[in-house]
Amino acid sequence: MNRDILLVEGKSDQELFRYLLSKHPELQHIELSPPKPLGFDGDGIDGLLKALPNLLKFKEFGGNLAVVLDADYASTNKGFHKRRTQILEIIGAFGYDISGAMPDKGVGELFSHPDLTPFGLWIMPDHSSEGMVETLLAQAIQHPARLELFQYITNTANDLLKVEQLKEICFKATHKDKTLFNTWLFWQKQPSECKSDSISIIECALQQGWIDCNHLLLKNLVFWLANAFNRTS
């Protein structure tokens, strides 16, 4: 049986996409997974980059394959262009056409192959900028009070990073988006319907409307998913 696989780095990506897939019946056949449950050594960006050549080599799933990973930051020798180059080098070696121009911000990409189904690529947050999945989610926060809370947390974090004697124990600047977003999540009262092991706090925020699922970036993400897993494309 053909398996359509969406390969992600880890937990936060899984929680976002699990929610998005559940809300779109036409996407619910997609198998969402980080590398480890598929039989590879580990998750995260290193696990994903190691798993991808094996998935392409064996094509055991026989269906469509798409990958989502964080851009991270150029200041740490990562960033959007570095991540994109890493993926393109892998898929290019398997015969995918990587010669096309990069699409506009927030669109994602599909790479064609003469014999195989297209390969989908989305680099968080918007397939253009530096950052991570939390960067995207923070941009989609809605409601004045929740935005005000996020701004308060941001200001506090900025002040902390200026305190010289705290620099050694504070989070890294490159982890700021992740720190801010997760602090914002956990500083809010959890509705009773979210107090269950079956729903994560990210899914709760999406379900409760703290995060706008109609935000352009999230709508574009769903549109890219639909194209990436269209077997007739």
Q: Which of 50-59, 143-152, 153-162 has the largest mean confidence?
A: 143-152
Tens of pLDDT, residue by residue over 32-46, are 999 999 889 889 999
Tens of pLDDT, residue by residue over 2-19, are 789 999 998 999 999 999
Average pLDDT of every residue of the chain? 92
Helices and strands (H and E) in the chain: how many: 8, 5
Contact, 119 vs 95, CB < 8 A?
A: no
Whether the per-residue pLDDT at 140 is higher than 90: the answer is: yes
Whether the per-residue pLDDT at 74 is higher than 50: the answer is: yes
Instruction: State pTM to two decimals.
Output: 0.93
So what's the pLDDT on residue 61?
59
Banded pLDDT at 233 (limits 50, 70, 90): very low
Tens of pLDDT, residue by residue over 195-226, are 888 899 999 999 999 999 999 999 999 999 99
Q: 20-24, 114-118, 129-133, 135-139 — which is least confidently predicted?
A: 114-118
So what's the pLDDT on residue 58?
72
Share of the chain above pLDDT 90, in %: 74
Q: Where are the beta strands (DSSP E) in the chain?
A: 3-7, 31-33, 62-70, 109-111, 119-124
Whether the per-residue pLDDT at 103 is higher than 70: the answer is: yes
| Cα distance between residue 71 and residue 161, in whole Å | 23
Banded pLDDT at 104 (limits 50, 70, 90): confident
Count CA atoms within 13 Å of residue 127 on its CB side. 20
Cα-Cα-Cα-Cα torsion 58, 63, 69, 74, nearest 10 degrees, comes to 70
Contact, 117 vs 231, CB < 8 A?
A: yes
Share of the chain above pLDDT 70, in %: 97
| Cα distance between residue 75 and residue 69, in whole Å | 17
